[in-house]
Amino acid sequence: MDMNKFENIEGGVCAAKGFKASGFYAGIKAYMQTGESAPSVPGKKNDIALMVSDVVCNTAGVYTSNKVKGAPVVVTKRNLAANGGRAKAVIVNSGNANTCNGDGEEKAQAMCDMVAQKLGISSDLVIVASTGVIGQVLPLEPIEKAIDPLFDRLSYTGNVEAATAIMTTDTVKKEYAVRFTAGGRECTIGGMAKGSGMIHPNMATTLNFITTDCAVSSEMLRKALSEVVKVTYNCLSVDGDQSTNDTCMLMSSGLAGNAEIACDGSDFDTFREALYQVMANLTRMLAKDGEGASKLVTCECTGAPNLDTAIIIAKSVIRSPLVKCAMYGADANCGRIMCAMGYAETDCDVTKADVYYISRAGKILVCKDGLGLSFDEDLAKKILTEDEIEIFVDLHMGDSSATAWGCDLTYDYVKINGDYRS
């Protein structure tokens, strides 16, 4: 699917009809350190976000497969199961993951209750998510004080405030939205994501919230999300560590006015392609903003016998620490690529594989039929010095292809994670 087929528009999670959002500085991390509520200070990064739909939405979600799951994941899954996959609001905080805490579920549920009370709805219509430090108790006091300001700030243009609030070690906010046509009506999908480290998903990645005004049944939302996650978020690796709080939510307000998409067909195909464009671009942003990263590194595996083989090979290359280090040092060592392909858990005849390095500076073949070649080292160095690099692998075994996204591994990654709690 094409990453740029549809018109890219502004607005993030507020681009689709019927969605308001807000963000606020509650001082959660400061409260954890001092036990006192921090005053709202202009210029402080928001650390709590709220998103509310004008109507109850059909909703689908995917989550971490880590055996250790954050309390918000447990509560959100329970809420959606209780009401048949419907939601009206999302509350999410950064600074504390609310994971590995004895009172975690109680506090995650309390966050849902606070929002539900303000809206006059059932608590199971609220989605809750958290990100930040694991294993430290989440204080509710600053969150309670933030609820009224969050509702006061709700706006159809509040996407930036919300996208900023969910950032932790992220250096930039991540938003993307597209416009498309389904059932003769103009529709929109928009999303926001956070994530910089502890990224190696299986089912989802980091925190991701996607909204659409295209009318789609809960069942077809789940189908589209699971299919697109497989070739986007599941093909992302920053450091090989899978988070405990990975959550991806897709909400449909249906306010575009199209006939609800309830089965396979051309409208569903268009919706899925638009969803792919949003999620693929958010995945790319997540990879480029990996903790300490200086380069976006992608691996495109083509010529595979099937999609699963292409995905496994591309992900194996992207997540290899040695490949990441080579990209950081602009070292065109094709042996590291071949090594990562060789231990990938799939049947692959590496004796047929060709490997290229590609960037704005050019393209160079470094491996042919599984064997390293002599090549222009100066050109290779120039190609790998760019801040966006593609490793292109052709297996010559079929017609399937997949792309995986990642980044280089730098000294700064160690610095960030050697002192994360402070």
Residue 298 appears among annotated catalytic residues: no
- Alpha helix locations (H) across 218-333? 218-231, 266-288, 307-319, 321-328
Q: Angle, nearest 10°, between helix axes 307-319 and 218-231?
A: 50
Count CB neighbours of 33 within 10 A.
Answer: 11
* Choice among 168, 205, 232, 270 that is catalytic: 205
DSSP state of 326: H
**Residues contacting residue 227 through CB under 8 Å, at least 6 positions apart:** 272
What is the residue-wise DSSP string for 346-390? Answer: S---GGG-EEEEEETTEEEEEEETTEE----HHHHHHHHTSSEEE
DSSP state of 306: S
Token duo for residue 3: 């990453």
Q: How far apart are CA 38 and CA 29, in angstroms?
A: 9
Q: Three-state secondary structure along 43-110?
A: CCCCCEEEEEEEEEEEEEEEECCCCCCCHHHHHHHHHHHHCCCEEEEEEEEEEECCCCCCCHHHHHHH
8 A C-beta contact, residue 57 and residue 195: no
Q: How far apart are CA 26 and CA 137, in angstroms?
A: 16
The Cα-based distances of 67 to 147, 200, 352, 367 in angstroms read 31, 14, 38, 39
As annotated, the active-site residues are 205
